[in-house]
Structure 1
Amino acid sequence: MEVRKLGKTDYNIGVVGFGGIPIQRLDEEEAVRLIDLARKEGINFIDTARGYEASESLIGIGIRGTREHWTIATKSMARDYESMKKDIEISLKNLCCEYIDLYQCHNVRTKDQYDQIMSTNGAYKALDEAMKEGKIKAIGITSHDIGILGNAIETDYFSTIQFPYNAVERQAEDLFKKAKERNIGVIVMKPLAGGAITKGNLALRFILENPNVSVVIPGIDRIEQVAENAAVAKSFIPLNKDERQALEKLAKELGSKFCRRCGYCLPCPQEIDIPTQFLMEGYYTRYDLKEWAATRYSSLPKKASDCIKCGKCETRCPYDLPIREMLKNVTKQLG
């Protein structure tokens, strides 16, 4: 498998990793089997999060006896010092590890959240302490906002960034280039555009053509996915003209109805977190995480059904999405 260095860390990782969100719906035996097969196929980077329910614990069981093979990444939504400190300890326990290779600030949405994380009593302080104590080896940050990560890579605080990237969502290419120049690792999530791209082989090959990408982490929950994903990295073949045109056609077709979670539609007068509505819908309809997505959706303080159809969001959307109709569909799917 092709190996790339993960930014300023000491880790050399296979370019195709193991995205750990979908295994939360598997039983222990099946999850362990997937993880073991991934190891045998040469996959050595695995990504999870505190918010992925049983994912951390299943991975902890799955890597027993093979810990040194893996570069383990997890993440937390904690924004303050005490919450992050607590989450680090929970992750260590769940993953059955003495240390975690990469701990990330998860889904930083706004400048206020970023400022809180970096404040005197913010989450970063807990991460920095844990790194000095040897409990974590590197610190990263994930976001759906290019501006947040653009600011982050101008500092020396983070070893990695994680952002969606695929044939449909290409807005981060300049960000990735700048990150590579600053020796910051680039982790690609949502390689299949939330399931909108059905040809996984083409999707992964498209991403790996970008030399600024360190690793791509497709979600894995089936045996056949492991070998298929690993095969792309073992014998990489650039896209041919027809394959590239097929992806370009798909991107064009999705352009009028696909939320890229840039956040320009916000703030909503009704305080609806519009991108999150579409994110939960994607998990519900395309990732087969119906119960998980429905539970997350039900906990949102404002839902798609609260839309009063004022249309202000649509005037801000750089992709001219029919957001009001899309929110109506979210209500239809998730209630």
Structure 2
Amino acid sequence: MKYRVLGKTGLKVSAIGFGGIPIQRVSVQEATQIVERALDLGINFFDTARGYIDSEPKLGAVLKRRRAEAIIASKSMARTKEAMTADIKKSLAELGVDYIDLYQLHNVRYDNELDRVLAPDGALAALSEAKKEGLIGHIGITGHIKGLLVKALKTSDVLETVQFPFNAVEEAESRELLDVAQKVNAGVIAMKPLAGGALKNAGPALRFILEHPAAIAIPGMDTVEQVEANALIGDKLEPMSDAERELLNKEAVSLGTAFCRRCEYCQPCPEGVEIPMVFLLDGYFTRYNLQDWARQRYSELKVKAGSCIECGQCEEKCPYELPIRKMLAEAAARLDKQ
């Protein structure tokens, strides 16, 4: 595995890190096997969050035993000093460790949220205190709104890393943020490297990110096979071939921008609709000519897209401001049809 220095943190992290959202979908036993294999193959950066249900304890079950091999990153949606202090303690307890290498302000979306976390009694103050106490090693910020992250890095010199969706689809809109991160020497953590699973050719998609020498990629992984395939990319760090680059460009262009990245911030739906899964199956239907397979899988869902009552809660939470209600209706029209 190749390693890179994560900006001014000085942490030496694996070029391919471990995204901790999908681990929620597997059993504790499966999670243990997956995390053990990742460590065995040299993956040492593990990203999780307070909001990822049981991701922290599942990762922690292994990482606390192999603590010296792991760099742990977690994060919280807390916006006040009091709430962030409480969440840091919860993360430490769930992970079963006595310190966390990187703790991040999670999914800062609006100007008023940024102002709140940067206020004297805001979440950043709690992170700074925790760093002084040795409970966390470094401080970062995550989000999907790149202009806001640019503002955050320019406003606060306390922030040492920035984590955001970076992939072949979102290259152009990421350039300013990459430039600013380089200027302030903030470590760059690329989440959604496969655009939430929309990019199907993982090799070229990950190598595209790793062409940027300051960035690491954290694809979500929930099988040993995924770990092994992704680790191989980080081990070789081969440049893309012309054929792979052309394939990736065509795939990115075909996706456009109005598609679900499966970040799952829209969940849970009060009616029980598995919104990202509906859009994943609809993508197979519309982009990969797998209509029969997509409809079969869709028919197995307990709650169909047509159960949406258009309450709009999902759209309020979507960081990409997608018209989810309209998209669900369109998916239902395709997938419900026999």
Give the TM-score of the pair, scaled to structure 2.
Answer: 0.81
1:281 alignment partner AA: I
Give the CA deviation at 1:303.
3.6
2:197 alignment partner AA: G
Q: Helix, strand or coil: the match of 2:169? A: coil
Is contact 1:33–1:62 with CA below 8 Å preserved after alignment?
no
2:166 alignment partner AA: Y
Q: Which residue of 1 aligns with 2:224?
A: 223
Distance 2:2 2:19 in 1: 18
C-alpha distance after superposition, 1:262-304 (max 9, x if no partner)? xxxxxxxxxxxxx958x9833654499x99x99xxx9x97346
Distance 2:160 2:81 in 1: 20
Give the CA deviation at 1:248.
1.0
Q: Helix, strand or coil: the match of 1:168? A: helix
Bigger mean CA offset, 61-70 vs 183-192: 61-70
CA 1:169–1:260 in 2, change beyond 3 Å: closer, same or farther? farther
Q: Which residue of 2 aligns with 1:196?
A: 198
Give the CA deviation at 1:125.
1.1
Q: Which residue of 2 aligns with 1:9?
A: 9
Distance 2:311 2:120 in 1: 28
Give the CA deviation at 1:27.
1.2
Q: Helix, strand or coil: the match of 1:220? A: coil
2:312 equivalent to 1:302: yes
CA 1:3–1:104 in 2, change beyond 3 Å: closer, same or farther? same
Q: Give unmatched runs, 5+ long, in structure 2.
A: 282-296
Q: Helix, strand or coil: the match of 2:249? A: helix
2:186 equivalent to 1:184: yes
Q: Which has the higher helix share?
A: 2
1:185 alignment partner AA: G
CA 1:57–1:48 in 2, change beyond 3 Å: closer, same or farther? same
Q: Which residue of 1 aligns with 2:107?
A: 107
CA 1:152–1:257 in 2, change beyond 3 Å: closer, same or farther? closer
Give the TM-score of the pair, scaled to structure 1.
Answer: 0.81
2:138 equivalent to 1:138: yes
1:79 alignment partner AA: R
Over the matched positions of the two proteins, sequence identity in percent amounts to 45
Q: Which residue of 1 aligns with 2:247?
A: 246
Is contact 2:197–2:261 with CA below 8 Å preserved after alignment?
no
C-alpha distance after superposition, 1:157-192 (max 9, x if no partner)? 200000001111111123112202211000000011
Q: Which residue of 1 aligns with 2:95?
A: 95
Distance 1:32 1:137 in 2: 25
Q: Which residue of 2 aligns with 1:78?
A: 78
Q: Which residue of 2 aligns with 1:54?
A: 54
C-alpha distance after superposition, 1:205-227 (max 9, x if no partner)? 111111231x1100010010111
Distance 1:147 1:305 in 2: 20
Q: Give unmatched runs, 5+ long, in structure 1.
A: 262-274, 307-316
Q: Helix, strand or coil: the match of 2:58? A: helix
Give the CA deviation at 1:9.
0.8
Is contact 1:304–1:330 with CA below 8 Å preserved after alignment?
no
1:162 alignment partner AA: Q
